[in-house]
Structure 1
């Protein structure tokens, strides 16, 4: 399949993607492009798992791209990501380096690997008004009726579901004419973590981040003027912590519901990656428990 234009590292949350990507980047003297739909936001550190210390290997900072590029409250989308990705990609390639794409947002990853022609979808006020009183399960049922590829992995709030439906409706009448970007020939490495180990790491990491001040992080973001509903839009930690901070959940309810939601999210991520394989992308899976050096050796042998 070579020569490869890119190395892509995928896997569910808590699988250890980022430390491995950073170690590999250090070995290959290259740079990382993040594929995380929430780490693009400034101030959202603990809730997004933005462990920037992972990007330092043996005291050497590893250059990264598409992290901390937007303010909280902004609704970034896959159309913008695709364009931002290719700008970063060309910049790294211009240095003679092989970029590493790393993250768990399957929609972002597939959009750039396959060069999907995407549209900048505007808001549809009439549609939003018609959907505003529907429950999340009702919205998910509507969304499931569409056949076109769009993000169904991270729809855990009514606001996100309505946006996803809005996108699908727009594509029904505004079909893309041609691909804007060519597909990329990427070596794709998947980090395969045992389900029980993944659950254990997710639970432990959640409690650590709560101890480190994740509630205060949410309070501080709300104090800057970001509306609670806009923070809830980002889902997972920001959804449940905002519901707690605004008095809609108790602390224990927040922890229990959030932990379940993160486990469900990791499962949906794996479903997406398996779907990528069915859609023609080859993923070379590596056991998450392998030593980093062995993972690097196996990856380099595939180049």
Structure 2
């Protein structure tokens, strides 16, 4: 079967980037990132950019959609679709087979299926109405729009309000025809034994803390970002911000963050299994 793209997916800490970089070197091609947080400059250690990995035998492998916007911006899947297709068309114009690599399932599925998405603007009036509500109250409002399968996806006030804002907008605005056609991609999934994955996640977390991840968060806060802005990005930036601002001890931060990353990896695998149910064929490598 003819393919126009190779997609590498898998949960965090499974070795996606190393696999994609080696493949890109063999095929003399370029990589498009599908990571919702690696788009931000200055958020390097916490998002695991590992840019040194994009070099094979002295050859730099070109990559796209990493370090493309400032921290504090609210990058979204609508923008990702647009940016992906710009990178994809640029690589295809060189006669090369692009490689899409990442763990953000929504971003990946949106470009493979060609979802039609609306650019949802901020709603100041709605935000004013929601500003004094608690997180449980916001979750209850969101549940009135749709079943809420994962409360961990709205684990901050900003995320919950934004989710309500999107649902309210979609209630009165129907998507039209697709802007982008579906892409015929070969999809390779990397999976590893659950216990091995747990060990890798813990070892990687310790390594990133030793590499200066706390200082990275302090620098982001010193640059003018508010704690809530960093908490919005979740995982490392949520828990390290809570630690740096005195709301969690170091041990509390480490334990809670470790658990959250394990839960995140499980949610990633749940999404990828769902893709199979939605008609995608994934070649799993274990």
The reply to whether TM is greater than 0.5 is yes
1:156–1:236 contact (8 Å) kept in structure 2: no
| SS of equivalent to 1:15 | coil
Question: d(CA) in 2 for partners of 1:286 and 1:144?
Answer: 37
| SS of equivalent to 1:285 | strand
| Partner residue, 1:184 | 183
Residue 4 (1) aligns with residue 3 (2):
yes
| Partner residue, 1:14 | 13
| Partner residue, 1:79 | 78
| SS of equivalent to 1:33 | strand
1:34–1:103 contact (8 Å) kept in structure 2: yes
| Partner residue, 1:38 | 37
> Aligned pair in 2 of structure 1 residues 271, 202: CA closer, same or farther (>3 Å)?
same
> Normalised by the size of structure 1, how large is the TM-score?
0.89
Q: What is the root-mean-square deviation of aligned Cα atoms in Å?
A: 2.0
| SS of equivalent to 2:3 | coil
Instruction: For residues 36-65 of structure 1, give each alpha carbon's deviation from its aligned partner in whole angstroms, at most 9, with x where no partner exists.
Output: 000000111110011111111122110000
| SS of equivalent to 2:121 | coil
Question: d(CA) in 1 for partners of 2:6 and 2:158?
Answer: 33
1:15–1:191 contact (8 Å) kept in structure 2: yes
| Partner residue, 2:249 | 250
| Partner residue, 1:50 | 49
Q: What does 1:1-303 correspond to in 2, within 5 Å?
A: 2-140=1-139, 142-144=141-143, 146=145, 154-287=153-286
| SS of equivalent to 2:275 | helix
Unaligned runs of 5+ in 1: 288-303
1:144 CA displacement: 5.0
| SS of equivalent to 2:189 | strand
| Partner residue, 1:295 | none
> Aligned pair in 2 of structure 1 residues 153, 50: CA closer, same or farther (>3 Å)?
farther
| SS of equivalent to 1:8 | strand
> Normalised by the size of structure 2, how large is the TM-score?
0.94
Question: d(CA) in 2 for partners of 1:15 and 1:145?
Answer: 36
> Aligned pair in 2 of structure 1 residues 101, 79: CA closer, same or farther (>3 Å)?
same
> Aligned pair in 2 of structure 1 residues 119, 104: CA closer, same or farther (>3 Å)?
same
Instruction: For residues 124-179 of structure 1, give each alpha carbon's deviation from its aligned partner in whole angstroms, at most 9, with x where no partner exists.
Output: 22333333344445544544554599x98844323112212221221121111110
> Aligned pair in 2 of structure 1 residues 257, 77: CA closer, same or farther (>3 Å)?
same
Unaligned runs of 5+ in 2: none
> Aligned pair in 2 of structure 1 residues 268, 141: CA closer, same or farther (>3 Å)?
farther
1:11–1:191 contact (8 Å) kept in structure 2: yes
Single out whichever of 273-282 and 201-210 deviates more from structure 2.
273-282
| SS of equivalent to 1:208 | helix
| SS of equivalent to 2:120 | coil
Aligned length, in residue pairs: 286
1:38–1:234 contact (8 Å) kept in structure 2: yes
1:153–1:269 contact (8 Å) kept in structure 2: no
Question: d(CA) in 1 for partners of 2:213 and 2:72?
Answer: 17
